[in-house]
Amino acid sequence: MTPLTSGTAGPLNGRVRVPGDKSISHRALILGSLAVGRTQIRGLLEGEDVLRTAAVMRALGATLARGAGGEWSVDGVGIGGLAEPEETLDLGNSGTGARLLMGLVAAHPITAFFTGDASLRRRPMARVIEPLSRMGARIIARDGGRLPLAVIGATSPLPIEYRLPVASAQVKSAVLLAGLGAPGATTVIEPEATRDHSERMLLHFGAAVTVAAAEGNGRRITLHGQPELRAANLVVPGDPSSAAFPMVAALLMPGSQVVIEGVGVNPLRSGLFETLREMGADLAFSNERVEGGEPVADIAVRASRLRGIEVPASRAPRMIDEYPILAVAAAFARGRTVMHGLGELRVKESDRLGAIAQGLAACGVKLAVSGDTLAVEGSDAPPAGGAAIQTQLDHRIAMAFLVLGMAARQPVRIDDGETIGTSFPGFVGLLNGLGATIAPVAR
């Protein structure tokens, strides 16, 4: 455990680049390992979660190496070519790693055992067990569909048509990855469009994927199974979910001007940018381009006076990881911010809805949770802060409350900063380089 404290900082100034996108990094390693030939990846996130996926792909028979300049090369084994791993696959804190890799193993005639840290072992896996079982895999899990579990992959996987009961890109991706090994068309129907990095990257590697509108804001995604994936180089954009932290910090610290370069601005990840703009944030996109099939931009942020707004449930899938930092921004805004449709936050790295509510209340912010709605009363002034926050193995809770501490009246302390390394290695140095004062707590 590494307790950290974050105290009042002056304006933030500078240009930074945040680490690579976590979702895209997992997928790059996985699809690169299934392709024929060598895939070179630049900008891969070298956070704990992604390094776990790299270790698993090695255990499944792919060859992955990091070059001296930080670029990764992946020599794939071809679809159907994975080997049975000798050891238990430990995904650490990573729900994405666990769920996507269960999909991958499900369509290979091998058996693999999965486990993770205390947070991951609490998270629901039934949502992937159910469709993967329909595709012919056998999965034996702990009570409630929890890790550790064993996946006995199908010898002849079946293509299915699957309607997602929850809007989850992880479940969609697990089914599509299993569908790669099945003959014919595997279709996933999602009630609300979720991040489409898997679809984009499958196309980039040469798979046939079609996407059509379904009822409401939903989509119908069809993959033609057993393609030959061709190695294809990739550049991973900066993670918008990581950019969110210096972005909100700059908005809250009067006088700040920060540019975050090379941030992924995929429309299915951009809910926070949209929401902050509605709240009055001064965010300017420039140098917009497409890299490796993903839209990217530089984002200039200026300190702004924010106002409370209503955030509809339909936006949740496009900003699902951003509610901890949005709730912090809302605490400084003028008036009430009401966020609807937060049920999925209960099953993230922690019960995030509970962790946000407890942490904000401890920092002197008024709020109410009713069902899956969170209402934060902004006081148009810095909240008291001064609290000790339990991060519960949740990197985004840790970072959100360090940002709150920078702009609050009293410093905020978190019990453990180590978890930040799962998604944002270098977070403390990057924020301090802009003018923050985050430091280890003297023991």
Angle of helix 323-332 relative to helix 352-362, nearest 10 degrees, comes to 30
Amino acid at 430: L
Amino acid at 249: A
Name the residue nearer to ligand S3P (CB basis): 324 or 385. Answer: 324
Query: Is residue 321 flagged as an active site residue?
Result: yes
For ligand S3P, the closer of residues 103 and 378 by Cβ is 103
Task: Exactly one of 321, 351, 372, 394 is catalytic; name it.
Answer: 321
Please state the φ and ψ torsions of residue 300, each to the nearest 5 degrees: -95, 130
Q: Please, what is the minimum distance in Å from the beta carbon of residue 301 to ligand S3P?
A: 22
Name the residue whose CB lies closest to ligand S3P.
Answer: 23
Give the shortest CB-410-to-ligand S3P separation in angstroms: 31
Provide the binding-site residues for ligand S3P, judged by CB under 6 A.
23, 96, 168-170, 173, 195, 320-321, 344
The least distance separating ligand S3P from the CB of residue 173, rounded to whole angstroms, comes to: 6
| Residue among 9 and 51 whose Cβ is closer to ligand S3P | 51
Distance in Å, CB of 218 to ligand S3P, minimum = 15
Among residues 239 and 298, whose Cβ is nearest to ligand S3P? 239
Q: Which is nearer to ligand S3P, 195 or 413 (CB)?
A: 195
Nearest approach, Cβ of residue 159 and ligand S3P (Å): 21
Nearer to ligand S3P, 323 or 332 (CB): 323
Minimum CB separation from ligand S3P for residue 344, in Å? Answer: 6
Mind telling me the catalytic residues?
Answer: 321
